[in-house]
Amino acid sequence: MMKKLPAPVPARQVLWLGWKLVILLSVALCFVALLRLHFSPDLSSPNSLSRPARVRSRISGGTFDGIPKIAFLFLARFNLPLDFLWGSFFENADVANFSIYIHSAPGFVFDESTTRSLFFYDRQLTNSIQVIWGESSMIEAERLLLESALEDPANQRFVLLSDSCVPLYNFSYIYRYLMSSSRSFVDSFLDAKDGRYHPKMSPVIPKEKWRKGSQWISLLRSHAEVIVDDEVVLPVFKKFCKRRPPMDTGKGKLNIVKTSKAAQLY
């Protein structure tokens, strides 16, 4: 689903490595959040009053008996280069069955000058943040998307998409598939070569729970709420989720060797 960047330019390798890191961290966040949902149902973290949307999402919880919607959540750098493809995808949908949210660069507006598909007009978040590739701001941007989408009680499935994702099936197939499943879809695997776990993340994120996977996931409403309401896992990521380890000046050239070796793994 994601575009592979052409290989050998070192700057791009670093960028790609950053992307991989973001994917890893996002999934680890989701995974830990899901685990918390299953194993500690009475999260006692106080509900911050500075985030009114959370309170609204709580109130709207429970069963919804209208037509359920899929919320398509696009995390974009600027525009959506594949808008024409998604446009024809949504043309075969019922407008009552889906909603669209886009997190793009702050101030970037989707209108006739920036997109070829009117499905995307004005669908950008107004509170989007500057995302630094490979850092926890990526997770925060995803949380903003989920938080906005939770404000509509009709949204019952939440699909996170990159600006290079393409639909492989038609709308009605995807709608039926996601709606008939009572599970979220999250990619997760153990990467034996992974050396990015920071011991200080423990005990909030224990080493044996550390996983890698794609951040492009599909969530049930209850799981989206867990991620948006989380005040335990994200702060740990904010602290330890950096684009790459800080340079150890004592090691000199060894830093560079380490970086390029890591990049080769991808």
Ligand X SMILES: *[C@@H]1O[C@H](CO)[C@@H](O)[C@H](O)[C@H]1NC(C)=O
Footprint on this chain of ligand X (rule: CB under 6 A):
67, 92-94, 97, 169-173, 175
Minimum distance from CB of 170 to ligand X (Å)? Answer: 4
Distance (Å, rounded) from C-alpha 244 to C-alpha 196?
Answer: 9
How many Cβ atoms from other residues are within 10 Å of residue 4's Cβ? Answer: 8
- Distance, C-alpha 2 to centroid of its chain: 14
Instruction: Name the residue nearer to ligand X (CB basis): 67 or 256.
Output: 67
Instruction: Name the residue nearer to ligand X (CB basis): 119 or 175.
Output: 175
Instruction: Name the residue nearer to ligand X (CB basis): 110 or 171.
Output: 171
Minimum distance from CB of 92 to ligand X (Å)? Answer: 6
The one-character DSSP state at 232 is S
- CB burial of residue 238 (10 Å; 0-12, 13-18, 19+): middle
Instruction: Name the residue nearer to ligand X (CB basis): 53 or 93.
Output: 93
Residue with structure tokens 């990467």?
191
Give 75's strand partners.
103, 162
Minimum distance from CB of 98 to ligand X (Å)? Answer: 9
Instruction: Name the residue nearer to ligand X (CB basis): 78 or 177.
Output: 177
Any residues with CB less than 8 A from the CB of 205 and at least 6 apart, and which? 28, 32, 233, 236
Minimum distance from CB of 175 to ligand X (Å)? Answer: 4
Instruction: Name the residue nearer to ligand X (CB basis): 124 or 156.
Output: 156
Minimum distance from CB of 252 to ligand X (Å)? Answer: 57
Phi and psi torsions of 108, nearest 5°: -75, 125
Q: What is the dihedral of CA 150, 153, 158, 161, to 10 degrees?
A: -70
Instruction: Name the residue nearer to ligand X (CB basis): 94 or 231.
Output: 94
Phi and psi torsions of 4, nearest 5°: -85, 130
Strand 218-220 versus strand 155-162 pairing type: antiparallel
- DSSP track, 102-137: EE-STT---STTT-S-GGGTT-B-SS--PPPTTSTH
Minimum distance from CB of 152 to ligand X (Å)? Answer: 15
Minimum distance from CB of 59 to ligand X (Å)? Answer: 23
